[in-house]
Amino acid sequence: MIKLIHHYFRGRWREYYVKSHWHLVLDLSLTIVIIFLIAISMGLYFFRPIFPNFSIYNSPVVNLNNPPLVLDFFVDQTVISQEISVPLRISFKNNGTVSVNSVLINLNLHDDNFVLTKINLASSSVAVKLDGQELILDKVAGGEEGKIDLQVYFSIKNSSKRTIDWQAQSQYNFNRQLFKATKTLPTLKIAAKLNVTSGAYYTSPQGDQLGIGPVSPIVGIPTNYWIFWEVNSPSDFKDLIFGSRLPQGVELEAGRSLLSGEFSYNSSTRQLIWKVPEIKGEAGIYRLGFEVRIIPNLHQLGQVVPLLDASRYRAVDELTGKTVSGELSSLTSDLEADSFNSGQGKVINQ
């Protein structure tokens, strides 16, 4: 090795240095510069001095238990209507000093009985894009915080299932790393529908005669009608109370058709009460029938006779614990529900 170096320098001495000393000066200068640069590099590497406005870049240290971007999801109401939509608020905050980029948020359902059909943007404190069911924030600057209000719509395949379990999946880029997280959202419960009807009949829907007496009603002659209350639902309810009052001039007869629950009548207040402890969604229709009688007088000539005051009901949805209530219109001798005798309720004279 030494002989090769000696041979190399002897060649350059004969070729360049003997002819001109400037070649020697140039080579010595370059050698000194190289040695100087090597010394500076080693000093910076080992001692790491800090100069104003100049420092070595250190990647931010990320605590995986406390990620830079905090996402929180809020649902004001967990019991939703049969239209199946819910307001969802997303709040976010970048606790770091470095921007978080390409924030993506997806909403997913656990049960294929429900489908997330649409997401509408109600309001937002930052620029946000909606791509189908995906929410996109291009950038969240260090220290930035804000909120996004959404309206989320669902469709349902089987109405007997009324519990929606869902989650939010998020991902974003920070310091050239991809962060992913999943948060379980509050369970949603769909309010049940209670189908309630009240009708007066002289002839049943099957064509059987139920009533007794003339139709239309005749002054001084009794006519008997049947009144039916019906309740059904695809879901379970409890503590149904159905009530009404008989108008003056209408009397409760002995005829009854009661398959479930308890029926009572208070003659002093003329109040009718039907109580059913449980209504099972798969049990079909719950029905109460009772017979009433009228004897029209001359003051009612040409008029429709009231048979039952407005009916009121209430029951408790077993899943949500919410009370469902309502009111049905009063019934008259015009028999709106009776397809055979409807419109024949005005009192006539013999």
- pLDDT tens string, the chain, 350 residues long: the values are 666 666 666 666 566 666 666 666 666 777 787 887 887 777 767 665 555 554 444 455 455 556 789 999 999 889 888 778 899 999 999 988 888 999 999 999 988 888 899 999 999 888 899 988 889 999 899 899 999 999 999 888 887 788 999 999 999 988 878 889 999 999 999 998 999 999 999 999 999 999 999 999 999 999 999 999 999 998 999 999 999 999 999 999 999 999 899 999 999 999 999 999 999 988 889 999 999 999 999 999 999 999 999 999 999 999 999 999 999 999 999 999 999 999 999 999 98
- For residues 145 and 170, state if they share a domain: yes
**pLDDT for the residue numbered 57:** 46
CB atoms within 10 A of CB 105: 23
**pLDDT for the residue numbered 35:** 82
- For residues 206 and 319, state if they share a domain: yes
CB 106 within 8 A of CB 125: no
Residue 28 belongs to domain spanning: 2-47
Widest pairwise Cα distance in the chain:
153
- For residues 202 and 184, state if they share a domain: no
- For residues 173 and 199, state if they share a domain: no
**pLDDT for the residue numbered 15:** 63
Q: Would 299 be classed as within a structural domain?
A: yes
**pLDDT for the residue numbered 175:** 80
**pLDDT for the residue numbered 12:** 64
Indicate the pTM of the whole model: 0.72
**pLDDT for the residue numbered 31:** 78
- For residues 235 and 286, state if they share a domain: yes
- For residues 202 and 177, state if they share a domain: no
- For residues 167 and 277, state if they share a domain: no
Per the structure, the count of domains in the chain is 3
